[in-house]
Homo-oligomer: A and B are copies of this chain.
Amino acid sequence: MTRPSLEGEEGLIAALRALATHPAARGLADDTAVLEVGSETLILTQDSMVEGIHYLPAQDMADVAWKLAATNLSDLAAKGAEPLGVLYTHMLGADDAQFISGLTDVLTEYDVPLLGGDTVSANGPRCFSLTAIGRASHTPAPSRSGAMPGDAVYLTGRVGAAMLGFECLRGGPDHDTAAYRRPVPLLAQGRALAPLVSAIMDVSDGLLLDASRMAGASNVTIAIDSSAVPIATPENRREDALRWGDDYQLLFTGPADASWPIPVHKIGEVHARMDARLLVDGIAPDPGDTLGYRHSR
């Protein structure tokens, strides 16, 4: 039986959501699946990197491996999870030893076991898929959908460092590139915050875009005070830093008068839902403003 064609990625995602009815899937609208097994709560995520789309063939494959694991671990961090291990599919090709070197670095750094996976031959641009499994350190595991009017909005640290690193790698001004090449999953911070937040997610695609998504998931409006956002860039790049992803800071909401166990930056407020999901300095962004990096990457 041939079904009607889907219209691009949105149609596909709608079809997948129709299939993902189990509560653990969280409607495919959260960073991870949250699966209760006996008395345990498992956190599961799978993200992939495609050559020419998520990384360039000229990149150091050790950095590609680091980023593949680190971005998945960042999703666990946003759930306050303790990583239990990863499985991944290695597509054979150039610099395999270099890839394994970077994978060893990241898994050693965060003490995460390699549990299994698959090796396959390449037939064109390579693709690497990694699944990370964690266990919730606090239940219920937080989500991006719990922001409440009256909450404040917080960020764990500076945005824009990855952007400057990316630009340097592309021939721009000299800058440390580590923030782009080897992002840090904020696992300890996520575990410290999980019992205390009303909503939390990692910032992968741009602070404004991800804040807008959190607002949508929570059915609220989030108002960002752009001058309060800590940035790693010169002031004249603030607008770009707010829209660039890859820094993997944790964005979260909670009581405005809370005492937080780690250094955090208050960057805005949560309001009852208005027409606009997002306000930046009190103004709804222009509809043509993408707010970040939208993709199927």
Contacts and interface: CB of A to CB of B under 8 A. Distances in A.
A50 B115 contact: no
Given A16-B117, A46-B129, 19 more contacts: A12-B97, A16-B119, A19-B100, A19-B107, A22-B85, A24-B115, A25-B113, A25-B116, A32-B116, A35-B115, A44-B87, A52-B123, A53-B123, A87-B131, A92-B296, A118-B129, A120-B127, A127-B129, A131-B131
Contacts of A296: 92, 119-121
A103 B95 CA distance: 34
A113 B131 CA distance: 16
A108 to B, nearest CB: 9
A33 B87 contact: yes
Nearest to A37: B40
A4 interface: yes
A53 B120 contact: yes
B25 A91 contact: no
Given A98-B2, A116-B28, A116-B32, A45 B127 contact: no
A51 interface: yes
9 contacts: A4-B97, A15-B96, A24-B113, A48-B120, A48-B129, A50-B123, A89-B127, A121-B295, A123-B124
Interface of A: 1-6, 8-9, 11-13, 15-16, 19-22, 24-25, 28, 32-33, 35, 37-40, 42, 44-48, 50-54, 84-85, 87-92, 95-98, 100-101, 103-104, 107, 113-125, 127, 129, 131, 133, 135, 295-297
Contacts of A118: 46-48, 129
A127 B135 CA distance: 28
Given A19-B114, A135-B37, A121 B84 contact: no
Contacts of A115: 20, 22, 24-25, 33, 35, 44
Contacts of A47: 89, 118
A44 B297 contact: no
Nearest to A133: B44
A257 to B, nearest CB: 35
A131 B44 CA distance: 10
Given A53-B121, A114-B19, A46 B88 contact: yes
B120 A50 contact: yes
A278 B117 CA distance: 27
